[in-house]
A = this chain, B = another copy of it.
Amino acid sequence: MSLLVVGSIALDSLETPAGRRDEVLGGSASYFSAAASFLAPARVVAVVGDDFPAAHLQFLSARGVDLEGLVRRPGRTFRWKGRYEQDLNVALTLDTQLNVFAEFQPDLPAAYRDSEHVFLGNIDPELQLAVLDQVRRPRFVGCDTMNYWITSRRESLLRTLRRVDTLFVNDAEARQLAGEPNVVKAARAILGMGPRAVVVKRGEHGALFFAGDEAFASPAVPLASVTDPTGAGDTFAGGFMGYLAASGRLDLRAMRRAIVVGSVLASFTVEDFSLDRLRSLTPAEIRARYEQVRRLAQFDDLEAGVLRGSTGG
């Protein structure tokens, strides 16, 4: 059940309608590993600068996250500054400073090379391939990407996708990758590029899962307030892959549960800034919200005879 994540660790400065925070913990590997830690501790491959606060590393370590693959380089940590306005689905990037992340070359510690579950966070697909080349025999590979790589690194991304089990994208990325405005057709086209399954994340509208002829629609938890949407997608992936690693299962019923676990964890993350909600989160709260989604999605079979038998003439 070993779980590996490669991605970013960042200091985020955020403005949302609910307030602002400066230089708080962020990055795909942070959200992913903190979320996964409720199910399976993850091994992290990432880089930070020598300015990175030790308290953040202590937080992740205390949650069981394995930081042997975290490299500390001279220089400044990756910084992202973003703003959300009324439409919380759209992040406006105000500033990006790659800093030490610009020269990131993932190099797996020997102990990480037998990892069974591998999550390729949203980084250059060339680096995603470099990670896969260092893992002996992964059982399950999950992958995230974004519009920038889809347009500027398309060939590398397509090579990566041939080695991926499940791709995580949002609606717009699915449409862009497939060149197809209909999400269902786009998902099918992506399945033709290699992944066995694709998860289309739709924010407040939940998630869709496609694998072969199978489809699953998970509702999002209806939230009366969202404080900070940052990291929702990486939290989702961390919950999803953490569940698969913890359960040891990779069948379609497990995938459905994994999606709901991912949605549930993401619904907590967005309730506060940065990873703050995950700091106080308990397994009992996760289980209760999973049950809430069960009730939310539940309905009975249609009774016999309720449809009018003839065409009514």
Contacts and interface: CB of A to CB of B under 8 A. Distances in A.
Interface of A: 37-41, 62-64, 86, 181-185, 188, 202, 204-206, 208, 215-220, 222-226, 243, 246-247, 253, 256-257, 259-261, 282-283, 286-287, 290-291, 294, 296-303, 306-309, 311-313
Closest A-B pairs by Cβ, 3 of them: A217-B219, A64-B312, A205-B205
Nearest to A223: B184
A257 B302 contact: yes
A283 B302 contact: no
A297 B294 contact: no
B182 A308 contact: no
B257 A39 contact: no
A292 to B, nearest CB: 9
Given A183-B222, A312-B64, A294 B303 contact: no
Contact of A224 (B40, B185, B260): B185
A182 B246 CA distance: 35
Given A39-B306, A64-B312, 20 more contacts: A63-B311, A182-B223, A202-B205, A205-B206, A206-B206, A206-B219, A208-B222, A216-B297, A216-B299, A219-B219, A247-B306, A253-B299, A253-B300, A257-B302, A261-B302, A283-B308, A286-B307, A287-B302, A294-B301, A297-B297
A160 to B, nearest CB: 26
A299 B222 contact: no
Number of identical protomers: 2
A73 B104 CA distance: 76
Contacts of A38: 307-308, 312
Nearest to A62: B313
A299 B218 contact: yes
Contacts of A283: 307-309
Contacts of A300: 253, 256-257
Contacts of A294: 299, 301
